Each structure stands twice: as C-alpha cells, then as structure tokens.
Structure 1
C-alpha cells in the first residue's frame, strides 16, 4: 500500500520546523541576533577557522595532514599494526599469502631506514616543536626499522614464527629475545605524542595570539574527524581537547558542539578564504539553532532536573580497573600502563581517533609549561636509549 501524507498535518509540521520560514528557524535567527559579535570557532578534520564576529574576516590555521613530519611519523607508528595485520592474515587464511605483503613491507622499511637521518629531521623536515630532539627521533626510527626488519626476515624464513606470542613478546614488549630491547610500545607512544605535541604547540600558540572571550565563544567541530565513526564526542575528540586546553578550560562544554554531518570548507589554497567566509552565516545559524533549542528546556520545564554535561573525567587504572569504556587517565610521562592501554582502546573503540591516543596529555603538559616543548617530557622518547637498544 502506498504511503499517504495529510497535506494539512504536514503543513502544521513545517510551520514549526523543516522550513526556511518556520517558527524554529525564526527562533534561531532571533538567538543569532544576540551573538553576531561573538567569536565563532569551527574545526574541520584538518583546519581551524576563527570568525571574530562583527563582520571581521576569518583566520585559518591548518593543523593536521599538511603539517611537517606527520606522515613520516605515522608511517613509523603504523609498523606495529602492520605486523599485527600480517599475523592476523596468516591466522585467518592459514596459508602463505601474507608473504607478498611481508616482503613489500620489508623492502619499504629498508628504504625508509636508509633515508632517515638526524639531518633529515633537523634541516629538511625541521619541525619547530621537535628542536633539540632530532637525534633522538632519528635513533628511534633507525632502531624501529632494524627491529621490524629482523622480525620480518625471521618470519619470512620460518612462517611459524609469525604469531601473536612473538609479536607481543619479541617485538612490542621487547622481552622475548636473548637480550632485552626497547619495547616498540614505547615507540608507538612516542610517535603519537610527537605528532600531537606539534599540532597542540601550534594550535595553542595560534589561539594565544588571539584575544578570545571564551565565555562567549561559539565552537563547532564539524565534519569527519579521522575514521568515519571517530571523534564525535567530547571525550573522543583530540581537537576538542586542544580547544578546551587552549581556553584554560574556561570554555563551557555546553558551548562546544560536535557536528559530524555539517558541510565544511576545503583547506584554503594560496590564502583564498572565500569559501571560509561564505560559510560563516551557515555555521552561525547551525550553532544558534542548537543553542536556541537548548534554551527551551528551562523555559518549558523549570522545576524538573536539568541536564549537566558529564565532563571529560577519564577512568583511573590506579584503582585496579581491568576494563574501561574511555581512554584511561595518564598520571605521568612514565605511566606506560595507561598509555599502552590507550593504544589498545583506540584500536578497539570505534569512537576514538587512532592518532589522538595521547594528544590530550601533550596538550596538558604544554599548557602547564607555557607552551614550551623543550620543558616537557616526551614519553617513550626522552630518557630512552634507542641508539643502544635499551
């Protein structure tokens, strides 16, 4: 039977909503009239835009894929999951079909190790936030590539070696060989932290150069952040962590909206901000429309319990937890239990951003030390002797 709609009742529906001339739209517009001069911050998956308000031109800061060193470090970070994937392919198929990928990975690791040097990191990639750590980074990459080559050569010579036990003990933990080695878990934490530290350093400096009234700021984290299911809540968005940190946690959570379905602007090319400017009315309408609906709550239901944001408190492994629903609290740069647990969580929890497992910790360290990367500890790198293999 064909569905039927009553024109009269549908018209009643659109009188309130789903129409450019609806009551709901007019409420959003009335709300927006109060906020025309308020700062609006829009974060996409790659850029931050600040709309100062009052008709002033926006400013844009890129923070992710276009940044120096990000992809190079990500390639090293991914060696652990790459080997784990080969282990899983062999277990699932029960044959040697994994070997073609194994040989290809081995060849590329050899090429990457040959290209790696302190000069590459200091003079060519030249990330400001990494100054003074270039030798340590080059040593870490060299050690990681050598360990990966050794593991792959052993597995290609005897594929029974390719299993979860040798992956965990010999490679990730570094305890299964004849001599203890630097855990590759440390490397993964260090590379994720370095990427997050660089992004946070630049974002905090950018926000610090703008006089933002955080109590009036309007924030939208828009579009896709990482994998399709990730970064859509306060607790799972590293971008939210950076913005909250930049505000000194003065930004009220109820003024920060996650909007994964909103159309976003492309990264500006050659300073062309025309698309960014054109979308400002849309972004302001979206923010104000949501806020207007929130304000109906006390107007309609005063006297009933009100909604309060749950906050961003992380579970604490120090209490003996063996299962977590969010990334656990990190107590210090030596708290590898929490940080390696986070590596597991970002793989198993589809809400998490894979590259964001320690970004909030990097932000907190930078905020506490006046955004000076030389004064913070990079877990898994500082104090670790990769050159000596321990």
Structure 2
C-alpha cells in the first residue's frame, strides 16, 4: 500500500494555507476586501491590462506579436541568425546536405521579403509613430540585410565553407566596415531588436502614464510565460518590470512588481467574457495579496533582523553601451541573451532603449540605437 501521511498531520498542513478555508485563504480574502479599490496591473508575454479596482472595467493594451512592425522587424533580426543555425547544422552533420534545403527555403523567403519591402510599407502599412521620419532608413536596412544575406546563401550553396563560423564571423557577423559590407550583421541584429523594442517601450509607457494609476498602491504582476520557457522569471530578467518602474518615474515601489511565471496568462486574441475576466482579476488579486501576506508577516515577525530591500538599480545588468558606435557592447549583449537561458531575447536592448527614451524626453526619434543611428544603409528602396 502506498504511503499516505497521517490524517491528523495532513489536516494540520491544510489548515495553514493549502485548503480553501485555510488561514492563508482567509487572510487573503481580508486583504482583498481592504484593497478592493486598489489598481492591479497584469502583464503577460504579449498583453498588459489594468484593473482599476472597485469592479471598474479593465483597460487593455497589446505589444509584441499583435502590434504593428513587430513581426517585420523581428523576422529581419532572425535572418542573419538563421545563417548561424545553418552553420551549426553543418558542424553537427558535416556529411549531411540537409542544410541545403533549409538554405534554399530561407533564400526564397528573403527574396519575397525584399520584394515586399518598400517605403510605402513602412509609412502607410506599418505606420508606427515611433518610427516617424526613419521609414526610409528602415526600408533601406531591410533591403540591405536581405541583399547581403541572399548573396551569402547563393555563394554558400556552391562553396559551403562560406557557412563556417570562422568565415561568417570574419566576413558577415563581425566584419569590419567596407564598401561591400558597410554594416555588419551583428549591428543589424542589434538595430532591429532596438527598433522593435523602441515601439513597445514608447507605446506601453505612454499607455501606462495615460491610465494615471495610483503608483504607490499599484499592484503589479508579470504573469505566465514570457519568451522562451526558461526566460523572464525574475525582476532583473523580465524587461516589463523595468519598463513599468521607469514609466512611474521610479515612484512605484519596485517591490510591488512581482513576477509569477506559473500564474495564469491571457491574450487579447482569446479574452474571456466579462464574468471570466472578473474571475481572472480575482485570481490575480489573490495571488498578489497572498504573496504580500508573507512579506507583511515577516516584517512583523522578525523585527530585529536586517530587512530585505530590493534595489532594481543593483539587479543583474547587461554590458553597458558607452557610445552609439560601441560594437563590442552590442555583440556582448547579443551573446548574453542567447547564452543565458534566463534572459528574454529582447533584453539585449530593453534597458538601454527605456533609459534612452527617458533621457530624450520620450521622443523616440531622438533615441540613439547602435547599428542604426550613426550608420548609413545603401539607398535602394522603391517609393
């Protein structure tokens, strides 16, 4: 017969926090009643919602995949990286030509993307405020990246060593600026990441400030999976924490931003009805308040011990960018976010872009992005 705990001990275990009528559940309900009018902000991997409290209707904003320009710029970020994956395929199976089919398929997509790219696409279809005035340069960036990559793929099908990491690093990813390759692909990847996150930081920051929440009472929960399954599980590795904190002008106590990667998530594309959304709000409030209950008790239970204080400024940070031409820092950040499973891929640019926006008075056109601001892409796009 399998082991079962003694019923008396099991009942005592449940009486504390694990049963619906436990002490933990009761204290959460008490806190929920007292904070019923407090605002609650919940961010998932693609959407953010503000529950104002007191049964008022929520306000929702989207970012990432459902927003203008995100897929276009992220697809371009992935194009050079795809060559690195092809190179790794060749290393793993040097006598297998399976990489060729993937290379040809990738080239086909790159040709179609280059053909679809135009100034009108960025001005009239994507039409993102944060890109205003930069549309031609972005279109030129797209054309340049596709052209250089297509040339590399075409030649590599006849000379496979062009897809070795030694050749790719020297001639494609970290190549010095030349007439044939004025901008390296490391710079391209950083620039496209930067542009994509610039729009997210600008829109979400403006949306948050427009809500005018009570920052001192705001409860913030970063919920569910964000990016790859191993990433974004801490304050320092989930850039939404930093974005929200800076949007409050550092008024929001950083300790009120909790990351709950295993909490329920939601998406604008599959929102529940009003009753379902109200139930989701209740679950989020209970989760945040139940966690806060432990913190409140600890502060009263151990008054003689040193208190824990979270300082977002001392959290684990990315390599600093010292100038618009700091290629080494850009490459170091790219390596960090790919090599550290805890990091969201967008973390290679997130803190830098958020800080740049604040330093430039929330004017996205003035944000300096390495690989974009101080470089010139060949002017090849059609009007």
The CA distance in 1 between the partners of 2:332 and 2:230, in whole Å, is 20
Q: CA deviation at 1:236?
A: 0.9
Q: CA deviation at 1:36?
A: 1.5
The CA distance in 1 between the partners of 2:22 and 2:181, in whole Å, is 69
The CA distance in 1 between the partners of 2:126 and 2:197, in whole Å, is 16
> In the alignment, what sits opposite 1:363?
354
User: Would the alpha carbon gap of residues 388 and 118 (structure 1) be closer, same or farther in structure 2, given more than 3 Å must change?
Assistant: closer
- 8 Å CA contact retained: 2:177, 2:184: no
> In the alignment, what sits opposite 2:167?
166
> In the alignment, what sits opposite 1:93?
93
2:325 matched to 1:331?
A: no
> In the alignment, what sits opposite 1:320?
none
User: Would the alpha carbon gap of residues 113 and 255 (structure 1) be closer, same or farther in structure 2, given more than 3 Å must change?
Assistant: same
> In the alignment, what sits opposite 2:336?
345
The CA distance in 2 between the partners of 1:98 and 1:270, in whole Å, is 40
Stretches of structure 2 that go unaligned for 5 or more consecutive residues are: none
> In the alignment, what sits opposite 2:282?
281
- 8 Å CA contact retained: 1:314, 1:328: no
The CA distance in 1 between the partners of 2:154 and 2:244, in whole Å, is 45
> In the alignment, what sits opposite 2:208?
207
> In the alignment, what sits opposite 2:35?
35
2:50 matched to 1:59?
A: no
> In the alignment, what sits opposite 1:48?
48
CA RMSD of aligned residues (A): 2.0
- 8 Å CA contact retained: 1:57, 1:277: no
Q: Residues 313-347 of structure 1, C-alpha deviation per residue, up to 9 Å, x if partnerless?
A: 367xxxxxxxxxx5223334333322221100110
State the TM-score, normalizing by the size of structure 2: 0.94
How many residues matched?
A: 379
Q: CA deviation at 1:219?
A: 0.3
State the TM-score, normalizing by the size of structure 1: 0.92
The residue correspondences of 1:65-76 to structure 2 (distance < 5 A) are: 65-76=65-76
Q: Residues 251-291 of structure 1, C-alpha deviation per residue, up to 9 Å, x if partnerless?
A: 21211110011112231569965533331111111111000
The residue correspondences of 1:140-151 to structure 2 (distance < 5 A) are: 140-151=141-152
> In the alignment, what sits opposite 1:189?
190
SS of the equivalent of 1:235 reads coil
- 8 Å CA contact retained: 1:63, 1:199: yes
> In the alignment, what sits opposite 1:15?
15
> In the alignment, what sits opposite 1:126?
127
The residue correspondences of 1:131-280 to structure 2 (distance < 5 A) are: 131-175=132-176, 179-267=180-268, 274-280=275-281
Q: Residues 57-82 of structure 1, C-alpha deviation per residue, up to 9 Å, x if partnerless?
A: 11001112100111111111001220
User: Would the alpha carbon gap of residues 176 and 83 (structure 1) be closer, same or farther in structure 2, given more than 3 Å must change?
Assistant: farther
- 8 Å CA contact retained: 1:241, 1:360: yes
SS of the equivalent of 1:248 reads coil
2:27 matched to 1:24?
A: no
> In the alignment, what sits opposite 1:323?
none
SS of the equivalent of 1:11 reads helix
SS of the equivalent of 1:363 reads helix
The CA distance in 1 between the partners of 2:18 and 2:78, in whole Å, is 45
Q: CA deviation at 1:83?
A: 0.3
Q: CA deviation at 1:176?
A: 9.0
SS of the equivalent of 1:286 reads helix
Q: CA deviation at 1:241?
A: 1.8
SS of the equivalent of 2:361 reads coil
Q: CA deviation at 1:222?
A: 0.2
Stretches of structure 1 that go unaligned for 5 or more consecutive residues are: 316-325
The CA distance in 1 between the partners of 2:361 and 2:18, in whole Å, is 47
Q: CA deviation at 1:360?
A: 1.8
Q: Residues 111-150 of structure 1, C-alpha deviation per residue, up to 9 Å, x if partnerless?
A: 1111111111111121121111010001111111111011
2:376 matched to 1:385?
A: yes
Q: CA deviation at 1:31?
A: 2.2
